[in-house]
Structure 1
Amino acid sequence: MIITYYAYVDQPASDPPKRRGPSLNLSATKTLDNLPAGAKISLTLSTDTKGFIGNSATQFATECGIIIRNYCPMNFHTWDSIPNDVKNMLYEQLQGRFNLLRSDRVFMEHVNARIHAQWKRTRGTLSEYWKRNGGKTNPQLARSKMKPNCRSQEDWNHLCDYWELEKTRKYNDQMEANRGKQVITSRGGSRSISNHKFHLPGWAA
C-alpha cells in the first residue's frame, strides 16, 4: 500500500482590490509638458453646438472636478447662491493650466456650465456615499463617516445638515421616484454631444 503525504502550506490572503484614487489629470500634465514654457492648454468651442471639443475638453472636465473637490466650499446648496468671488477663485485655479478667455462672454458661459456640471456631480457622489452609510436611517452614523475625498469635516457637516432636512429628504425621494420612471437612460457617458460628434470618423469641427 502506498501512502501519499500532502503538505498543506498556508496561502497568504490576497490583498483586497485597490480602490481608485483621486484623479491627478495626468493627461493635462503631459500636454503641458509638451507646450512651450509658460503656455497653457487651449479650449476649442464647436462651431455648431458651442460645446468644448477635442482632447482638451476631456482634460478640462477632469480639472473642473479636481478644482471643485479641492477648493469649492459646500455650504452653498444651489449653484446660483455661490458668491462671485468664490467662482472667480475657481476660474483662477483653472487658469493655472488652461487658457480661459475671461473677456469672451460666450466662452465663459460654457466654462461656467462645465464647472456647474462638475459641482452637481461632486455633490451627487457625496450624497450617494452618505446614503450608503446609513444617511436615511442612521444619520448620525453617516455623519461620523466622512467621505475620504470630501474637502473638510466642516463641508461634510454642512452637507449632512442639508440632507437631514425634511424638505431635502422629500425632494430627493421625489427625484428618485422620477428617475425610476425613466424608460430611456442616457448612454453617452461623460462626453458631451458635441465632443461625441467631434470624435466621429471623418468629422472636423
Structure 2
Amino acid sequence: MIPLSHLITRRRSVTNAPPTLSASTAPGVIGEPTPLTEATPTASQVPVSSTSSVSVQPLNARRPHRRRRELEPGDHASSSSGVDGGASQPAKKNTRGPNRMLKEAHAVRMSASLIKIAYDSQHRGAATSQQHSSVVTSCGYVIRNCCPMRWESWAQIPEETKKLVRDKLSVNFDVNDLSPEVSAYLEGTLANRYKDWKSAFHTHFQLWDDPEIARLEGCPNELTERPEDWEWLCKHFMDPKFVKKSIAGKKARDSKTLLHHSGSKPFSYRLEARRQEGSKFPQIDLFNDVYVRPGNETAKEIHDVMVEKSTAVLQEATSQLPPETPIEDVNVPDDADIQIVTEVLDQKLGRRYGKVVRCMGKAGVCETGASSSRSSTGEVNALKEEVTTLKGQLAAQGEHIRAQDERMSMIVQALAMSGLQIPMPTRDVAPPSTSQPLHPADTQ
C-alpha cells in the first residue's frame, strides 16, 4: 500500500523570503516619479491590513470614558524592558509600520519606468501574487491618505474625487490606456480598501461606551487634520440603518461554520502554487491549509472525508498502471479534486447556490441562471437593434423609390403637355428590346 502522503501530493520546499517586484514587468514612462507626500508625524504607526478586521491604534490610555481592556499575563512582561539602574522604558513595538509605497517607488527608480499591471483572467487580477500584493497595498495607501471618508461606499464617491485618488497611483503605476479588465480590477481593489478603512474606524468608534464621547474625544490620529471626516463617520455610525446592518452582519459572521485563515491573499494564487509543487489534488490541499486548525473538528472531519475519496480515486488510477510506475506519472482527472470538495461540502453544509464555487474564490466563478438570462437578454436586445436598423434602411429605400416614381410622373406630364404621349412604364414589364432611342418625331 502506498503511503497516503505520497499518494495525494508531493511537496517541495518553498522559501519564505519576501517577494520582490520584477522590473521586467514595468515598461512605461521614462523618468523619475514624483514621490508621494510623506505621512505626517501624527499618523498612526499601526499597519492596516487588507481585511475588514483592522484595528486602529488607541489614542491615549489617560482619556476618560474609555473602556479598559483586561491585560493578559504576557502584557505585563512586554510593557517595559529593564535597563541599567533599575529604570524601565517602553518595549519596542513589533510592527512593520505604515505602508508608504517605498518598495514600488524603488522599483520604478531602478527600472526608470512605471510599473505595468499584468492581468491574468485565471486570477481575475494581477498575474502574480507579488504584484497583486503590491497593487493592494498601494491602493490602501492612497485610500488612507488621499480619499475623504464622507461616503458610505466607494460607489457613492463622486467621479471627480475618484479620479484624484486614481491619479495618486500613477506615481508608480502605468494607469494610461488600461484594458477594461484591469480597470475593473483596480476599481474593485479601491472599493475593498475603502470598505476596510471605514471598518477600521468603526472598530475604533466602538471602543467608547458613549457615542457622543467618541465623537468629541475619539478622533483617531489619522484624521486629526481632517476632523470633518470623523464628524461624518460618527454620524454615520450612529445612524439606525447602519446600526441595524452592522448587527445583522455580525450575526452572519458568527454563524459561519468554516473560517479561512489565509489572510487577504486570494485562493487562486495559493491554488496555483500547489499545482506547481506537484500536488495531485491541489484543491483538497488548499482546504487543509486555509481551514483546518487545531480545535476545529468540523473542518478536520470534512478534510478527512475528502482525503478518503481522493485516495480511492488515486488508487483506481494506479491499479490500471504497472506496479513500478512513479507517482508523478499517475494521471487523475483535472476536475477530480473540485468535484470531491463540492460533493463533500454539499453533503455536510448543504448545497450552495450562487456563482462562486466553494473554496475557489475568484478562480471558481461560474455562470448562474441569472447571468445566463442576462446574457440571453443582451443577445435579444442586439437582435432588436439590428432589426430596427434594417427597417430603417428599408424605409429609406422605399422613400428613394417613391421619389423616383414622382420624378418620372412629372416628366411624363411635362411631355404630355407638349403634345407627346409616352406610356408610363411599369416595374413588372421588361424594358423594350430595341437599342434605338425613342425619337419624338417617331411618336408623331
TM-score scaled to structure 1, two decimals? Answer: 0.83
Q: What is the match of residue 175 of structure 1? A: 249
1:201 CA drift (Å): 6.6
Matched letter for residue 110 of structure 1? Y
Matched residues in 1 for 2:269 and 2:117: separation?
12
Q: What is the match of residue 149 of structure 1? A: 222
CA-to-aligned-CA distance 1:156-203 (integer Å, 9 cap, x gap) = 111001001122112111111111111111222121233334544738
Q: What is the match of residue 165 of structure 1? A: 239
Which runs of structure 2 are paired with 1:52-91 in the superposition (5 Å)? 52-54=126-128, 55-91=130-166
Q: Is the 8 Å Cα contact of residues 64 and 118 (structure 1) preserved in structure 2?
A: yes
Matched residues in 2 for 1:168 and 1:109: separation?
27
Gaps of 5+ in 1: 1-8
- The change in CA–CA distance for 1:22 and 1:103 in structure 2 (over 3 A counts) is closer
Matched residues in 1 for 2:237 and 2:111: separation?
44
Q: Is the 8 Å Cα contact of residues 44 and 53 (structure 1) preserved in structure 2?
A: yes
- The change in CA–CA distance for 1:139 and 1:17 in structure 2 (over 3 A counts) is farther
Question: Alpha carbon RMSD of aligned pairs, Å?
Answer: 2.1
Q: Is the 8 Å Cα contact of residues 53 and 194 (structure 1) preserved in structure 2?
A: no
Which runs of structure 2 are paired with 1:93-104 in the superposition (5 Å)? 93-104=168-179
Matched letter for residue 40 of structure 1? L
1:10 CA drift (Å): 4.8
Give SS of 1:34's match. Answer: helix
Matched residues in 1 for 2:87 and 2:219: separation?
32
CA-to-aligned-CA distance 1:58-84 (integer Å, 9 cap, x gap) = 111111011001111111112221111
- The change in CA–CA distance for 1:160 and 1:122 in structure 2 (over 3 A counts) is same
Which is greater in Rg? 2
Which runs of structure 2 are paired with 1:1-205 in the superposition (5 Å)? 10-18=85-93, 20=95, 21-36=97-112, 39-54=113-128, 55-132=130-207, 134=208, 137-143=209-215, 144-150=217-223, 152-200=226-274, 202=276
Matched residues in 1 for 2:274 and 2:165: separation?
32
Q: How many residues align?
A: 190
TM-score scaled to structure 2, two decimals? Answer: 0.40
Gaps of 5+ in 2: 1-83, 278-444
Q: Which has the higher contact order (CA 8 A, sep 6+)?
A: 1
Q: Is the 8 Å Cα contact of residues 155 and 191 (structure 2) preserved in structure 1?
A: no
Matched letter for residue 221 of structure 2? P
Matched letter for residue 238 of structure 2? E
